[in-house]
Amino acid sequence: MKFVLFLPLLALLASCSPKIPFTQQIREQNKLTPEEIKGIQFYLSDPVALRRGEEDASKKSTEQGTLVIERGRSLDQISFRANTPGAVEGVVDQSTLKVAFEDGPENYLVFGSSRNRTGYYALQAFSWEDGRGKINYGGKTWYTNRGSDQAILMFKMKSIKRLRINDKVAKGKKVR
């Protein structure tokens, strides 16, 4: 009885497609249109963190004959975990996509295949230094965490092959 209940679960797990990298080759081989690309659920391969900091204004005062200068800094951070689902907001050109992982105006990351030889759609930035990128997100300039240059787009692809056989049985022919 326990085995019978286990079979549907096993069938469900076996039908799940693994996530694979989205590449320029896949895009070209399948002649994907912008509308078809927007219909694909993408996932982030590696964690990405965006950081931006601002200097707060200095405050000066005197306390009991001592000059006190307070300086501060605020740091904003947005984190995207590995396997975070994303949707294409825009197809920029034949090798670049804008992918949103949350709602909001201009809240998207840019991925493209032009930065590497593998054809993977990797995170794009205005500039890269030691694996950290300078990007625009939500209309502001942010800096990515070290290693974010390795982040690529993943997706699920299922290949279904069908064979249709029209079977006809010859009745035979007798000599007259």
d(CA 101, CA 43): 9
β partners of residue 50: 78, 144
pLDDT, position 9:
40
State pLDDT tens for residues 25-74.
Answer: 999 999 999 999 999 999 999 999 999 986 566 677 777 778 877 776 77
d(CA 20, CA 154): 5
pLDDT, position 41:
97
pLDDT, position 65:
77
What one-character DSSP code corresponds to residue 35?
A: H
Residue 5 has pLDDT above 60, yes or no: no
Measured at the CA of 109, the angle between CA 46 and CA 77, to 5 degrees, comes to 70
How would you list the strands of the sheet with 122-123, edge to edge?
19-21, 153-156, 42-44, 85-93, 96-100, 109-112, 122-123
Domain map (residue ranges) of the chain: 17-51+82-156
- Helix extents (H) in the chain: 2-14, 24-29, 34-38
Classify residue 132 as exposed, middle or buried by CB count within 10 Å of its CB (0-12, 13-18, 19+).
Answer: middle
β partners of residue 91: 97
